[in-house]
Chains A and B, each alone.
Chain A
Amino acid sequence: MITAGIDMGAKNIKVVLLEDGRKVRARAQELGGTDTRGATEKAFNAALFQAGLKMADVLHVTSTGAGRANAPYARDSVTEVGAAARGAVFVHPATRTVIDIGAEEGKTLRCDAAGKVIDFAVNEKCAAGAGSFMESMARALEVKLEQLGPLSMKSTNTIPMNAQCAVFAESEVVTLVHQKHSKEDIAKAVHDAIADRITSMVRKVGFENDVVLIGGVAKNPAFVETMKRNLQTEVKVLDEPEYVGALGAALVAADNEGVK
């Protein structure tokens, strides 16, 4: 039996196809843009093509993410927090704390062995703690987003950066550039700032091991290292971290079809 999860994120739309609630058959994603419906259809078709399946083979679709209410094909939905917990525990059963940094939001949750959420926290009206903050800082430093992490890891100095808001942080980066700080050091300052923000959220919820990191920002090695240093614990990056939410939704779809 095939179920699907669609994660209608603020920036990207991710689709996961799951067989019998156990085996991932396909993953695909598209940039959401302004035509989110079209992008979802594209991502869904790509996943079907990858798995050699047809739409009619998919029994149940569950959506998640900021735009979950408008997801095509979906019969029901699950919150981002619920999907993240379910997906993370499936991928790594020892998961008890999930840190999820997507484009729009940073969130932290504690969950039990069944993937049930015990407590959670989400960043407030501020981009610091979310992927869009990183994008904005990469723009200010005139580097590609994927270069930001490796650049930061070459830094030898710690520069304090106080801003919590992407708009003000961008001007702070410009000031640091004028003060002749190296790009490497500024990149590190950016990572420290975002990690500090997320760390306080993690401490608010309280963390238990294993701590896992999901969402697009989990692919940034500098951020992962800073989180480890801040929390003084091992932080595991799950495989295909940006798809964990969609996977969680596909698992919920399987649950709703009675798959054990």
Chain B
Amino acid sequence: MTEKTGKYPTEPLKCWDKAKKIREDYYKDYASAHEKGGLRWAGGAWTFDAIPAGLGDDVHPITSEPYGASCAFNKEFSLKCLEATEKAGYARDLCAYMRNYWGSILLNQFAFGGPFPKPDFLWQDHICCSHAKWYQVVSELEHGIPHFSIDVSVGPEDEIDQNKIDYIVGQMHDGIEFLEKSTGRKYDDNLLIKAVKNTCRSTSTWAKVCELNKTVPAPLDEKSMYSLYVLGTLQKSSQAVADFYEELLKEVQDRVKRGISATPNERCRVMSDTQPPWGFLSVFRYLEKFGTVSIGSLYTFGLIGAWEVAPDGEWVHRKTPMEKGVSINDRDKALRVLTEWELHKPEWQHFYSPHLKSEMMIRIAKQWKLNGVMLHYNRGCEGLSLGIAENRLALLKAGYPVMVFEGNMGDEREFDMVRTMSRIDSFMETLGMKKDFD
């Protein structure tokens, strides 16, 4: 129902419940896969999930980062997981998602109820040092689950050449042999091709949705976007996710047309950075008291979104190979398309240099018309926090006020809510924003 309590009308998203159901079904399907004769696999949200799709429609994944975030959202459960990991001898400064995930295995408790459903195989890629070790430990904890990892250290995108693509595609071909051997199933290339097309469709469409947030007032706020982008991190290669993003796009286009705003009194636009402290998303609602909306971030836009720079310099959604008339007819072509597509992922580029991240952030700040930036010094993710102090300097130099706050995406013991809110008060004051209500 449309409401107008402030300057702009607001309205809940109609497809909200559908998004929730896709997420619920995802975890249910994973947990119950064996009951229907299906298979379970585990791997990171960055992994090439389109490839195991070739084993059949009854093969269900669980991706570790969103699972770790789900644990973190439940503070009581998360603490048990973290303590179990520490008791097992793992250091407290490791990736917080990884520690929640390992803790869940060690406790044999699934965040959504019941014992932790053991995967049949592990399918991972190595984007950061944690990813490189994560599933090696999972394999050990679960008594030797077959494990395959793909090394993707060939970036950044402007340095990619044919040899580098061949290097990754070669590993993917080996990976398919591994999948057949580990599961005893025959691989279906048609399912792979379909999943690759879905991947391109999901990620390009999500970028289109994010592009619409250039509109003033923004039709979406970042707290809501977290519940939407997550579907891509769960299974970007699935038909359900690709179709959902197209439905979402239509709805957000309609919101823009009708002037529906995410917040009733948008006067100030900011972006955040890296994963938020998942147990404390009320930080984003607090901003609304100041008429401030967080329109997203490089993280929410670029972890799942596929982007390219248009000739006029605007950052826009990447056109899919299908839209460009590329035909994908066999396994090798599908793997090459998938490789090239994924190696342009924005949130992967800055593993090579913080300056690449600064450029992208400044581009967002300009094109999404921002008044300021809130940087989360996320002690739970070395990969995405690396170089964040450099990003701060670059943003300041570009003329954008920056607030930093310390925290951890998945370990609530490292986040100070009161101090963070107090810092937001100060930042809002420097931006000239006053509270509309308490």
Residues on A lying within 8 angstroms of B by beta carbon are 66, 78-82, 116-122, 124-125
How many whole Å from B204's CB to the nearest CB in chain A? Answer: 38
Question: Which residues of B (385-428) have their CB < 8 Å from a CB of A?
Answer: 396, 401-402, 404, 406, 416, 419, 422-423, 425-426
B contact residues around A124 at 8 Å (CB): 406
Q: For the complex, is B430 an interface residue (Cβ under 8 Å from A)?
A: yes
Give A69's nearest chain B residue, CB to CB: B438
Q: Are B430 and A120 in contact (CB under 8 A)?
A: yes
Q: Are A79 and B419 in contact (CB under 8 A)?
A: no
Q: Give CA–CA (A116, B430) in the complex, Å.
A: 7
Q: Are A117 and B426 in contact (CB under 8 A)?
A: yes
B contact residues around A116 at 8 Å (CB): 430
Q: For the complex, is B142 an interface residue (Cβ under 8 Å from A)?
A: no
Interchain CB contact (< 8 A) of B430 among A66, A80, A118, A121: A118
A interface secondary structure, majority: mixed
Q: Are A66 and B422 in contact (CB under 8 A)?
A: yes
Known pairs A79-B426, A120-B430 / 15 extra A-B pairs, C-beta < 8 Å: A80-B422, A80-B426, A81-B429, A81-B430, A82-B430, A117-B426, A117-B429, A117-B430, A118-B401, A118-B430, A119-B402, A121-B404, A122-B423, A122-B426, A125-B416
20 A-B contact pairs sorted by A residue (CB < 8 Å): A66-B422, A78-B429, A79-B425, A79-B426, A79-B429, A80-B422, A80-B426, A81-B429, A81-B430, A82-B426, A82-B429, A117-B426, A118-B401, A118-B430, A119-B401, A119-B430, A122-B419, A122-B423, A124-B406, A125-B419
A contact residues around B404 at 8 Å (CB): 121
Give B430's nearest chain A residue, CB to CB: A117
A-B interface contact total, Cβ < 8 Å:
34
Q: Give CA–CA (A79, B429) in the complex, Å.
A: 8
- The number of residues on chain B lying at the interface, defined by a beta carbon within 8 Å of a beta carbon of chain A, is 13
Give A124's nearest chain B residue, CB to CB: B406
How many whole Å from A191's CB to the nearest CB in chain B? Answer: 25
Q: Give CA–CA (A121, B401) in the complex, Å.
A: 12
A contact residues around B425 at 8 Å (CB): 79
B contact residues around A82 at 8 Å (CB): 426, 429-430
Interchain CB contact (< 8 A) of A81 among B396, B401, B419, B426: B426
Interchain CB contact (< 8 A) of B406 among A117, A119, A125: A125
How many whole Å from A154's CB to the nearest CB in chain B? Answer: 37
Q: Give CA–CA (A66, B422) in the complex, Å.
A: 8
Question: Which residues of B (170-229) have their CB < 8 Å from a CB of A?
Answer: none
How many whole Å from A64's CB to the nearest CB in chain B? Answer: 11
Residue among A66, A78, A82, A120 having the largest count of chain B Cβ atoms under 10 Å:
A120
B contact residues around A79 at 8 Å (CB): 422, 425-426, 429
Give A107's nearest chain B residue, CB to CB: B426
How many whole Å from A102's CB to the nearest CB in chain B? Answer: 13
Q: Give CA–CA (A235, B425) in the complex, Å.
A: 28
Q: Are A120 and B416 in contact (CB under 8 A)?
A: no
Q: Give CA–CA (A124, B396) in the complex, Å.
A: 21
How many whole Å from A129's CB to the nearest CB in chain B? Answer: 13
Interchain CB contact (< 8 A) of B426 among A118, A120, A125: A120
Q: Give CA–CA (A81, B401) in the complex, Å.
A: 15
How many whole Å from A192's CB to the nearest CB in chain B? Answer: 24
B contact residues around A118 at 8 Å (CB): 401, 430
How many whole Å from B392's CB to the nearest CB in chain A? Answer: 9
